[in-house]
Structure 1
Amino acid sequence: MVRRIAQIVHLKCSAVAAYKECHANVWPEVLQQIHDCNIRDYSIFFDNDRTLFATFKYIGNDFEADMKKMRANPKVQEWWVMTDGMQESPNQGSTGSMDQETSWWKGLEEVFHAE
């Protein structure tokens, strides 16, 4: 069963150009790990204020295990250190994308869907 996920995080005003640039050239190792962790149809949108909105489909059977694999990849860790420095989490107490206790991106509740 496909699980649809939506999340938000805030972008630092000073980092807009750099964030767009690095996402125009995502590292192949990061893209491969996203695919290997059963994530498909992944998009990040920017509202031209501060909010980044991400949405993707998870097609696997064990989301937590796949996210553990994602966190274990050194290239993904390097990517997250870079991009986390451009962002501010809306989740109080979160320390970064590697934080397993408090998510860096805030998950959103789906209230409507139509195909």
Structure 2
Amino acid sequence: MKRYGSVIRIAPGKLEEYKKLHAAAWPGVLRMISACNIRNYSIYHKDGWLFSYFEYVGDNYEADMARMAADPETRRWWAVCKPCHEPLSTRGEGEWWAEMEELFHHS
């Protein structure tokens, strides 16, 4: 299992819309997240920043992420959510949410 953290800004005036979207997340999108070996997925908000955390329990992260990205319902969900985001200019190539380095973990 590997933990992932990422960050993005919420676009001005979009927080309430983003909250409503995620309060009624599409069932097909949630099924795809699970099918792609993601567990304990959470999104947090603070002062205009969104922080995402999940645990990946699969064997091939790149293949699972490609599978998710190819899913038509997930792609429609992303198209609805994308206008709510302001990605960081320092994000890595191919990233929308900027991946974060884990500095500490205690279990």
Q: What is the TM-score with the length of structure 2 in the denominator?
A: 0.95
The equivalent position to 1:68 in structure 2, one of 63, 66, 69, is 66
Identify the residue that residue 110 of structure 1 maps to in structure 2: 102
Partners of 2:91 and 2:98 within 8 A in 1: no
Moved over 2 A (4+): 91-94
Could you tell me which of 25, 46, 54 is aligned with 2:52? 54
- The 3-state SS of whatever aligns with 1:17 is helix
Alpha-carbon deviation of 1:93? 8.1
Alignment root-mean-square deviation, CA? 1.4
TM-score by length of 1: 0.89
Residue of structure 2 equivalent to 1:97: none
Structure with larger RCO (C-alpha < 8 A, sep 6+):
2
Report if aligned partners of 1:7, 1:54 keep a CA contact under 8 Å in 2: yes
Tell me the alpha carbon deviations over residues 32-88 of structure 1, each in whole angstroms, 9 at most, x when there is no partner.
0000000000000000x2110000000000000000000000000000011011101
Unpaired stretches in structure 1, ≥5 consecutive residues: 95-100
Identity of aligned residues (%): 37
Give aligned pairs, total: 107
Distance 1:93 1:53, change over 3 A: closer
